[in-house]
Amino acid sequence: MSGFLQVSVGVGLGVLSLAVLLTVLPRLGRHGRAISEALTQPPLLDLILATLTALPWIAGALFARWIGLGAAILGQMAALYAWIFLHELLYLHSARGPRIVRFTNRIVGRASNHLALWLTTFGVPVLWIIRLLEIFIYPTLIWLLRFPRYRHADWISLSRHKFRDLVGHDLVWCLYCDWMTGTWSLGTEMLRNVESFWCPIRFAHPAKLENCRIDFPDIDGGWVPADGSMAQVQAVLEEKYAGHGDRSWFGHPARLAMPSGAGHHSTALPLPPEMDEISRELLLEHSCQPHNSRPMPHATHHAQGELPLCNDRLTVFLRVVDDRIVDISFVGPACPICTASASMMTRTLKGRTHADAKRLFHSFHDLMTQPAGSQPADGDLGDLVALAGVHRFPSRVKCATLPWHTMVAALNQNPDPPATESSTRFPE
């Protein structure tokens, strides 16, 4: 048997066997499910994915150089299609139902769709480089510079396999996107610390400045204008980093939760610069002396919400009589933005109907996620309009909207709020 065939068959059988084992594992009782769940998070997830992707390339290249690499890739592709066939056969009813691949094949053509999917896999080696930097290089920055630590499982984990009727082809590519998105997002989060610490200067190119605002919120949260001076840069660095141990980027949730006496008071509640003085005062008032922050023993509804990255943990209580919220309160440790939002929310919703609460939730969500001035704010939001400037800072938007998502979950009598489009595990 030629070297090419040996590598291709060996890799194909190995990858297919591991994929089948991972598929069967959750069916092997309580211990099987526990092991399967552990394999969806780092570091075991990294080992499994390396075994399925990168290690066969390395082994093939060592065995027969470029021919071996090509054979390994061919074996992986054959194993993938064999597993898809078996999985869709196992879940035949779901495979015959609504499918992502069926829709995308229809609108762009089967050949174009599948070719495009395979072309994206050229990004896998790049993603592995990013992942290795996250695992081995970023920890040295934590040690040398006291950059913030991250729990990798909050970013890089697989969960889409739990989605009902997601099978075969759709499942494989959704899990690939699941890993790809988490790896990229964690890398971006780590890069925010690097950028703000070593070069807090805005880009001179207007289009680049606008396009990078979402991924690098410190562009509007403290970076020096492109026509500024080095004296301004030094002043920003002194303000943000000197005199205390926090080396996180300026809008990192850890800074939002920092008490006013820790280091320097200017980062205790870093607020978007476009906020006027009245808005700042309202936020400080509600965060320092929140309204309705108390348990409610006779609540008719309640739910818990959590934002792990910022250590926000809230329980919202509601007492609903004849479809009207006669009382609402909250308890739990949270950063100032989250606390202020919860305080304002309870004042706004008390006495409102169930329908009013849902309407105000959507109004507040729009206020947080759309550019300021893009549409008139709902007049019933009251003091909550003071949070309008937060929309430019994704991490703060999560903090501000957490009480509202938790409130809606309570109204729906769901003890665990659903994940939202702006969540990390917020809550999951």
Per-residue pLDDT of the chain (428 residues; tens, 9 = 90+): 578 899 999 999 999 999 999 999 999 999 999 999 999 999 999 999 999 999 999 999 999 899 999 999 999 999 999 999 999 999 999 999 999 999 999 999 999 999 999 999 999 999 999 999 999 999 999 999 989 889 899 899 999 999 999 999 999 999 999 999 999 999 999 999 999 999 999 999 989 988 998 889 888 778 998 988 999 999 889 888 876 667 888 877 666 544 443 333 333 444 554 455 556 677 777 877 788 888 888 889 999 998 876 678 889 999 999 889 999 999 888 888 888 889 989 988 999 999 999 999 988 888 887 765 555 455 567 777 777 767 666 667 888 889 999 999 999 875 444 443 333 344 33
* DSSP state, residue 160: G
Asked whether residue 321 is assigned to any structural domain, the reply reads yes
C-alpha span between 375 and 119 (Å, rounded)? 40
Phi, psi of 332 (to 5 degrees): 125, 150
Which strands make up the sheet holding 312-321, listed edge to edge?
Answer: 301-307, 312-321, 324-331
Domain boundary among the residues 90, 122, 142 is at 90
Asked whether residue 107 is assigned to any structural domain, the reply reads no
**In the chain, how many domains are there?**
2
C-alpha span between 302 and 279 (Å, rounded)? 29
| Residue 150 backbone class (left: φ over 0; alpha: ψ -120 to 50; beta: rest) | beta
* Spatial contact of 255 and 201, defined as CB atoms under 8 Å apart: no
Rounded to 10 deg, the angle between the 277-288 and 336-349 helix axes is: 90
Q: Please report the DSSP string for 368-383 in residue order.
A: HHS-TTSSPPPGGGGG
C-alpha span between 185 and 97 (Å, rounded)? 32
Q: What is the CATH number of the domain that holds 405?
A: 3.90.1010.10
* Spatial contact of 356 and 378, defined as CB atoms under 8 Å apart: no
Domain boundary among the residues 90, 107, 139 is at 90
> What CA dihedral angle connects 233, 234, 236 and 242, to 10 degrees?
150
What pLDDT does residue 280 have?
Answer: 66
At 238, list the tokens.
Answer: 């002194």
Asked whether residue 422 is assigned to any structural domain, the reply reads no
Domain boundary among the residues 37, 60, 90 is at 90
C-alpha span between 165 and 99 (Å, rounded)? 9
Asked whether residue 307 is assigned to any structural domain, the reply reads yes
What domain range includes position 327? 281-411
Q: Which residues of 270-291 are buried (b: 16+ CB within 10 A; e: fewer)?
A: bbbeebeeebeebbbbbbeebb
> What CA dihedral angle connects 180, 197, 204 and 212, to 10 degrees?
20
The SS3 of residue 301 is strand
Asked whether residue 169 is assigned to any structural domain, the reply reads no
Q: How far is CA 45 from CA 58, 247, 248, in A?
A: 19, 29, 27
Q: How far is CA 303 from CA 286, 392, 403, in A?
A: 21, 28, 10
At 66, list the tokens.
Answer: 């470029």
C-alpha span between 314 and 303 (Å, rounded)? 8
Asked whether residue 378 is assigned to any structural domain, the reply reads yes
What pLDDT does residue 243 have?
Answer: 66
Asked whether residue 152 is assigned to any structural domain, the reply reads no
* Spatial contact of 314 and 403, defined as CB atoms under 8 Å apart: yes
Asked whether residue 164 is assigned to any structural domain, the reply reads no
